[in-house]
């Protein structure tokens, strides 16, 4: 009770601070920047307790703004995760579940339905100039991720500095237009195969105090951490340029991961496998314009909450439809919502619901081929975990008195998400051979 009162008071202070932001900026429609950090698990950053110095810039940026300690992705792989950020909907609502096989992709594949209003479409409709840069072959026009973007720049597998260069070109174009901008920048560097440039390639080695990793796994982790540090330095350069150009002070910024990465902690490598924290706990930092409050939000939030948060920051009314997404600083409604959900439907089928106190129910398969029954959260229980005290989620609670409450909350959330489901006739189409090969190079479409 005391803990909840503490954070309620903190949330009130944050809301009061945010309320003054735009009176001080003089701009009712601020410029907005969304930075997506592909495959970046939260616990490999200093701000979330990592022992290696992988993220000095991000740590500093978080300390000056609002850091969310328990941000949960809607899905632990890129296509449905980014679709959830763009639409403010869980995957079961937006319906973007790409195939996991090459043969299926040749005949038809899922795309992000144009029946959904994306952030970019809404910002454009309200007078913003909109642009995106993506190096990820999932986040392309072919999958309808260009909806609402006047400029959509696709740079296959481009490293962070090339994303920065493309961003600078777009910012140069924005200067000639008397409009605010909405810019989406997607950084791919921590994604496998891990190949950071020198000197980052040899920056980290040796054992870690946490985790019992093999020598081979430690080598992978060293390269992964090198990718993170390279990305962190590139982001430092980007923000230095924004500061030099006079854009940073009033800028609204969201920095978020789309999913994490597994190093055999739960029997798998890479991501898109399970809904344990290593794949679903992502970094989230928000700068709310000029004089952004410095705060830490400790309760679970979802990446779908970015959607209404950015619209509120720009004083734009959200779409007039029911939603499970809430502004990130709306503490009272987060308490009422009760928790957030994640889902994976690829190699395994699993769903997780984590409540406001951090207790997490996982249901579904633990072996390849085991199915997830959408209408039954009472069977195939993988476990209930205390995701705060056991962040690695290695030991399920032996008993949990409120299991039925977790199951009912999961079922109610799923029911509402299904009721919000929208489809159209454009949901499937063949995928080009070039796109298939690009996706295969990143470990997809096996």
Residues 134 and 254 in one domain: yes
| pLDDT computed for residue 348 by the predictor | 80
Question: In the chain, what are the helix, strand and coil shares in percent, each to the nearest 5?
Answer: 35, 20, 45
Residues 203 and 349 in one domain: no
| pLDDT computed for residue 257 by the predictor | 98
Instruction: List, for residues 65-99, the tens digit of each pLDDT value.
Output: 999 999 999 999 999 999 999 999 999 999 887 76
Residue 437 included in any domain: no
Residues 76 and 9 in one domain: yes
Residues 390 and 271 in one domain: no
Q: Which tokens is 249 given?
A: 């002070």
Contact status, residue 343 vs residue 93, Cβ threshold 8 Å: no
Q: Spell out the SS3 assignment of 120-172.
A: HHHHHHCCCEEEEEECCCCCCHHHCCCCCCCEEEECCCCCHHHHHHHHHHHHH
How many distinct helices (H) and strands (E) make up the chain? 13, 19
Domain termination residue (choose one: 289, 309, 338) = 338
C-alpha span between 319 and 305 (Å, rounded): 14
**Domain ranges, residue 160:** 2-338
Residue 429 included in any domain: no
Contact status, residue 345 vs residue 362, Cβ threshold 8 Å: no
| pLDDT computed for residue 376 by the predictor | 57
Residue 89 has φ and ψ, to the nearest 5°, of: -130, 150
| Radius of gyration, CA atoms only, the chain | 21
| pLDDT computed for residue 67 by the predictor | 98
C-alpha span between 342 and 140 (Å, rounded): 23
Q: Which residues contact 402 (CB under 8 A, 6 or more apart)?
A: 359
| pLDDT computed for residue 407 by the predictor | 93
**Residue 364 backbone class (left: φ over 0; alpha: ψ -120 to 50; beta: rest):** left
Residues 353 and 332 in one domain: no
Residue ranges of the chain whose pLDDT lies below 50: 1-8, 10-11, 13-26, 101-108, 425
| pLDDT computed for residue 444 by the predictor | 63
- For CA atoms 357, 333, 405, 74, give the dihedral sign: negative
| pLDDT computed for residue 24 by the predictor | 38
Residues 165 and 306 in one domain: yes
| pLDDT computed for residue 106 by the predictor | 39
Contact status, residue 117 vs residue 410, Cβ threshold 8 Å: no
C-alpha span between 258 and 303 (Å, rounded): 8
Residue 6 included in any domain: yes
Number of structural domains (the chain) is 2
Residue 122 included in any domain: yes
Residues 257 and 370 in one domain: no
Assign 102 to helix, strand or coil.
helix
């Amino acid at each position: 009770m005391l803990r909840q009162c503490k954070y309620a008071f903190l949330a009130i202070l944050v809301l009061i601070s945010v309320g003054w932001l735009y009176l001080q900026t003089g701009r009712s429609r601020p410029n907005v920047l969304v930075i997506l950090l592909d495959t970046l698990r939260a616990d490999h950053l200093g701000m979330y307790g990592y022992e290696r110095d992988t993220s000095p810039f991000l740590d500093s940026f978080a300390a000056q703004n609002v850091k969310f300690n328990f941000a949960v992705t809607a899905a632990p792989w890129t296509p449905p995760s980014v679709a959830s950020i763009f639409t403010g909907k869980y995957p079961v609502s937006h319906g973007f579940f790409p195939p996991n096989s090459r043969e299926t992709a040749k005949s038809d594949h899922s795309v992000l339905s144009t029946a959904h209003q994306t952030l970019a479409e809404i910002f454009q409709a309200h007078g913003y100039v909109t642009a995106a840069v993506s190096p990820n072959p999932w986040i392309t026009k072919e999958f309808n991720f260009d909806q609402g973007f006047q400029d959509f720049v696709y740079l296959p597998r481009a490293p962070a500095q090339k994303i920065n260069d493309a961003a600078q070109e777009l910012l140069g174009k924005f200067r000639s237009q008397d409009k605010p901008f909405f810019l989406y920048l997607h950084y791919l560097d921590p994604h496998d195969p891990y190949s950071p440039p020198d000197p980052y390639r040899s920056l980290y080695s040796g054992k870690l105090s946490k985790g019992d990793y093999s020598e081979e796994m430690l080598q992978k982790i060293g390269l992964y951490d090198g990718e993170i540090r390279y990305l962190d330095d590139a982001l430092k350069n980007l923000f230095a340029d924004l500061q030099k150009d006079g854009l940073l002070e009033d800028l609204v910024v969201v920095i978020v991961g789309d999913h994490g990465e597994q190093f055999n902690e739960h029997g798998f490598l890479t991501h898109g496998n399970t809904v344990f924290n290593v794949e679903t706990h992502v970094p989230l930092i928000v700068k709310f314009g000029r004089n952004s409050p410095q705060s830490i939000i400790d309760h679970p939030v979802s990446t779908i909450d970015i959607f209404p948060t950015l619209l509120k920051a720009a004083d734009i009314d959200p779409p007039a439809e029911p939603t499970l997404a809430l502004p990130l600083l709306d503490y009272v409604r987060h308490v009422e919502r009760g928790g957030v959900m994640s889902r994976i439907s690829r190699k395994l089928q699993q769903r997780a619901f984590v409540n406001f106190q951090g207790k997490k129910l996982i249901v579904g398969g633990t072996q390849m081929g085991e199915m997830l029954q959408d209408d039954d959260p009472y069977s195939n229980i993988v476990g209930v975990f205390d995701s705060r005290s056991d962040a690695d989620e290695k030991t399920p609670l032996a008993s949990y008195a409120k299991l039925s409450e977790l199951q009912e909350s999961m079922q109610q959330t799923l029911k509402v998400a299904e009721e919000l489901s929208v489809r159209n006739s454009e949901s499937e189409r063949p995928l080009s051979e070039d796109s298939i090969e690009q996706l295969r190079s990143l470990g997809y479409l096996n």
